[in-house]
Structure 1
Amino acid sequence: MTKFVSNLSLILYSSGSGVIGINAVIFGTWVLIFYNQVLGLNPILASLALGIALVVDAISDPLIGAWSDRFRSKWGRRHPFIYSSILPLCVSFYLLFTEPNSYSQSYLFWKLLILVLIIRISLTFYEIPRASLGPELTKDYDKRNFVNGWAYVAAVVAGTTVTFVMYSYFLTETEEFTGNKAFLNPDGYKYFGLLSGFLIVVFGLISALSTHRFIPYLHKAESQASFSINNFLKELFECFSNRSWLVMLLAGGFYGLNIGITSGTSTYINTYFWEWTPSTISLFPVIAGAATIVGAILAIVITAGREKKNIAVTVFSLGLIIDPLPIWLRLLDGIFFIDFFPLNGTDSLWWIMIIHTSIVDALRAMGFVLVISMIYDIVEDSQINTGRRDEGVFMSGPNLIQKILSGFGIFLLGIVMQLFGFDNTNMSQTEIAQPIRGLVIFQSIIGPILSLAGIFCLLFYNITREKFHRAIDDLGYRDN
């Protein structure tokens, strides 16, 4: 297949990850603070809605993946799913940030839950089949890093774009919302939802249309490979016999739990811990996004001729050490009464934080580009034993554990925020100082522990460059 697909086609295909970048920014930064601090939804109810939706999403991932593996149509196995998901994603992201008809707790809870369920399931219909195209489009060990590197770039560009526009143009200060209170201006969120929905259509269609002409050359489901729950469960358990996939499941679980307990709190920390205003940090996503693009490209370059696992473990380990340093140093200020870190509002703090964020994001980009590429390589490793190409199952499998534990983590976060006092949405900067300190301490301890556990799991991934090439030769896929 590789001989038919140019680098430009692979880049256009990878641009579809822009949808994932926008989704990550929305749920990682804006949804929780919008529903809790702007609309006044209790943090436990907000986290419960997000957690339920994520668990439902986790269950749907492998089901949709297995279904698309066996789907037969004139548009192939994957494209019908991708096309059908784009419009629901666009509309539901816009509605998520519209002004509610009622501010009652029950109405806000059900609006959040229903819309997030639609978004999560639509995203599964989009991303699992779309991501499953990757191992089909190229079976070259290093070119898979190329595909995932550009996918990460697209995700960053999309996420950076909506974040920069949000900070610079939508969250403007008014007479009512001054200083860091500009984060709570509800008008900005409506336009944010509209922009996000529009860009999702653009990125989604570019990815789908750019690969449409390759449908005749893609793998086709066998006529007898009809989907059923019994066959799905049987084949899923067969996949569990693959050691490298089990490793990715466990690593994804620790990562998911970590994401869950940190999801949506970055804006709280920026607003109340570092005391930034939107205009002050409007350049953060742009500069950090550029660093992330550099990291994704470095992953492609550095890994050429080397083992993916070794480099992934190295960069994740560096990130584990560097990521929590600013918060740890700031927390030490209150213990030893010595300034280990620049004071809020100073230029030196801004420069240190932008450099720190850029380094961490670049390392994270390198790591995740390689991790997705490592999952690609499991497809042929398993096919040697099962005779099947289960891209959909393998791309969705780690998400199953990751999202279930992430859903639990989000619910746990809601309980923690309730205990720390975030159910009060009208606190002054002085009153919120203690709750935000408690939240930061909690995350700065639990986060590194979970990250370390995930890195440890990656050490047991056993697909080397040599083993991969042997599988490609045995299956008759050698492109060169």
Structure 2
Amino acid sequence: MTEALASSAPIKKPSFWTKTAYGFGSAAYGTKDAGLKYFLLLFYSQVIGVDARLVSLAILIALIFDAISDPIVGYWSDNFRSKWGRRHPFMYAAAIPVALSYYFIWTPPEGWSDQALFWYIVILAITIRTFITIYETPSTALAPELTDDYDERSNILSFRHFFGWSGGNAMTVIAFSFIFPAFVTVAITNGQFNRDAYAFYGLIGSLVIFTAILISALGTHHYIPKLRKAEPKRDMTLRKIFTEIYQTVSSPSFFALFLASLVAFIASGLTAGLILYFSTFFWEFTAEQIGMITLGVFFAAFSGGILAPIVTRKLGKKRGALIVGLAAFIGVPLPIFLRLIDVLPENGTPEIFWFVLITNTIDTALIVCYQILAASMMADLVEQGEAKTGKRSEGLFFAAGTFMRKFGEGFGIVIAGFVLSIAGVATGATQGELSDETLWKLGAIYVPTVLVLFATVLTIISFYKIDRNTHEETLKELAARKSDTP
């Protein structure tokens, strides 16, 4: 009997505190994500004055390196042996490097040329993304180890997504409600365009990242003896490793979920890269109003987390993802489309503020629900892979999930940079300085682009085949194999 099979089986329902510790670790990823998705492009192009296309290119280069690290870390953590198990050594090792590199990306040297700052962004973005992979992939991969129950997986991943969204959102609320207002000066009437504000933002964010990683690692540390152990040591060549990786993930359901999620995260990155441009220039909201809209995301994250397990029980994951996804994806560009056809109240009125606040909160709740369902669908692929290869590869599957999210959202931000360039958004422009023609063009490019991406997502994910019955049959097959093993 292999060590992996001999280890304790996953617990059907982990305790509330275990789920909380597991979930809270995602606040590190959420904080990193919020900064790099929402602020990085605007910070370097509008505050520091670097060409948006150069910033986008720097992000793209970091993504190429990222594409290499994800499967390596996933495979490595699946086969790692230590007294602290397969996952936790990676989690502990990432805490300090990712926190430090995150701080320094918000404190670029003054007086550097665009080319020098381009390489500064590249190096730090690669460092941040590499070490967040070293933490996030093994950490997220604990989900299918903690439970093999079809419904409970959606529950435990609800904790993960709630803290991920809430952690990043908390940093955005803090930025707009406290940091930016505190950095208003006579010369800079909107603290959102003060570089010193971002240095303080980076300091707080790095502390949140470090704390979240340690709390999650320490809070799940006592489960290490109950988690599955690595396979016995084998002589492996690089060719054997990549062959094994391919054999593990080569199923129609995996490719359907992988491609659908990749496109969904590209759309998410595009939206995230432009959201502050729309809030600041298109809707002309104040920093305080943007902070209030962002507060709605806390309610949305909680609502989406509550909704996902219900949808799983009532509709199943795939059907639920299709229905919830359709509603969510239509809602993303709806307010902008309605503005383009001139059916909304004027900017500056209370009505337009409340309309955007309410629609954004509802739509975000649906997106959170969809993402939880998709992550839970990925967890169900673990047993399918084990039945096929005889090996547990949680890290490899969730490395695919980490890759999809980071590469997709990062590539979406790259697209956002080029959308800004095509629309004619001037580098260094502040609120009120963009023409109505430029703003209309920005919305007119964004709406059809994001709708096409989301329509592609729903088409691809329809090819995913695993449902409740399929999953339970696979569990029975694996249990029978284990009982037959001498």
TM-score, scaled to structure 1 = 0.93
* Kept after mapping to 2: 8 A contact 1:94/1:193: yes
Query: What amino acid is aligned across from residue 465 of structure 2 in structure 1?
Result: N
Corresponding letter in the other structure for 1:380: E
Name the CA distance, whole Å, in 2 between partners of 1:207 and 1:101: 36
What is the aligned residue count? 470
**What's the counterpart of residue 186 of structure 2?**
175
Q: Is the 8 A contact 1:380 1:389 kept in 2?
A: yes
Specify the alignment match of 2:445 in structure 1: 442
1:62 aligns with 2:71: yes
1:298-317 alignment to 2 at 5 Å?
298-304=307-313, 306-317=315-326
Which residue number corresponds to residue 147 of structure 1? 156
Residues 281-330 of structure 1: CA deviation (Å, up to 9, x unaligned):
22212223212211211112332254111111111101122221110110
Q: Which runs of 5+ in 1 are unaligned?
A: 334-339
Q: Specify whether residues 304 and 408 from structure 1 end up closer, same or farther in structure 2 by C-alpha distance, changes over 3 A only.
A: closer
**1:226/1:94 Cα in 2 relative to 1: closer, same or farther (>3 Å)?**
farther
**Partners of 2:422 and 2:253 in 1: CA distance:** 39
Structure-1 residue corresponding to 2:248: 239
CA distance in structure 2 between the aligned counterparts of 1:277 and 1:216, rounded to whole angstroms: 52
Q: 5 Å matches for 1:74-473? A: 74-172=83-181, 173-178=184-189, 181-225=190-234, 228-304=237-313, 306-333=315-342, 340-400=343-403, 403-404=406-407, 407-426=410-429, 429-473=432-476
Worse-superposed segment, 234-243 or 426-435: 426-435
Tell me whether 1:7 sits opposite 2:16 in the alignment: yes
* Residues 161/228 of structure 1: CA separation in 2 closer, same or farther (3 Å cut): farther
Which ranges of structure 2 fall in alignment gaps of 5 or more residues? 1-9, 482-486
Instruction: State the shift of 1:250 in Å.
Output: 1.4
User: Which amino acid in structure 1 is aligned with residue 383 of structure 2?
Assistant: E
2:437 maps to amino acid? Q
Cα deviation, residue 405, structure 1: 5.5
Cα offset for 1:346? 0.5
TM-score scaled by length of structure 2: 0.92
> Structure 2 counterpart of 1:110, which letter?
W
Asked if structure 2 preserves the Cα contact closer than 8 Å seen for 1:39 and 1:103, the reply is no
Deviation at 1:262, TM superposition (A): 3.4
Measure, in 2, the Cα distance between the counterparts of 1:145 and 1:477. 25
Q: Give the Cα–Cα distance (whole angstroms) in 2 for the partners of residues 99 and 246 of structure 1.
A: 39
Q: How big is the shift at 1:25?
A: 0.9
How far has the Cα of 1:260 moved from its partner? 4.3
Q: Which amino acid aligns with 2:185?
A: T
Q: What amino acid maps onto 1:192 in structure 2?
A: Y
**Aligned amino acid, residue 6 of structure 1:** S
1:254–1:450 CA contact under 8 A, matched in 2: yes
**Range with greater deviation from structure 2 (303-312 or 415-424):** 415-424
Q: Cα deviation per residue 1:361-419 (whole Å; 9 max; x = unaligned)?
A: 11001111111011000000121111011111111225446655555544443333233
C-alpha contact 1:170 1:187 (8 A) present in aligned 2: no
Q: Hey, what's the Cα distance between the residues in 1 that align with 2:430 and 2:306?
A: 44
Name the residue aligned to 1:336. Answer: none
Q: 1:227 to 1:285 in 2, by over 3 A?
A: farther
Letter in 2 for 1:177: I
* Cα separation, 1, equivalents of 2:347 and 2:44: 27
SS in 2 for 1:460: coil
* Higher mean C-alpha deviation, range 101-110 or range 46-55: 101-110
Tell whether the 8 Å contact from 1:164 to 1:285 is kept in structure 2 after alignment: yes
**Percent identical residues:** 34
Stretch of structure 1 that moved more, 298-307 or 59-68: 298-307
- CA-atom RMSD in angstroms: 2.0
Q: In structure 1, what is the equivalent of residue 3 of structure 2?
A: none
CA distance in structure 1 between the aligned counterparts of 2:48 and 2:368, rounded to whole angstroms = 33
Contact 1:152 1:293 in 2 (8 A): no
- What displacement does 1:235 show? 1.5
User: Equivalents in 1 of 2:404, 2:236: separation in Å?
Assistant: 22
Q: 1:260 to 1:160 in 2, by over 3 A?
A: closer
8 Å contact 1:141–1:465 — kept in the other structure? yes
SS in 2 for 1:417: helix
**Residue deviations 1:422-477, cap 9 Å, x none?**
35324672444433332222111110111111111111111110111111122129
The worse-fitting range, judged by mean Cα deviation, of 57-66 and 390-399 is 390-399
Task: Provide closer, same or farther for how the CA distance between residues 446 and 202 of structure 1 changes in structure 2, counting only shifts above 3 A.
Answer: same
Task: Give the whole-Å Cα distance in 1 for the aligned partners of 2:346 and 2:425.
Answer: 24
Answer whether contact 2:231 2:391 (CA < 8 A) is retained.
Answer: no
Q: Which residue of 1 aligns with 2:5?
A: none
Q: Deviations over 1:9-49 (max 9, x none)?
A: 12211111111211221122111100000000111110000
Displacement of 1:273 in angstroms is 0.4
AA in 2 matched with 1:316: G
Q: Structure 1, residues 191-233: CA drift from partner, whole Å, max 9, x if none? A: 1101111111111111111111111221111223466431221
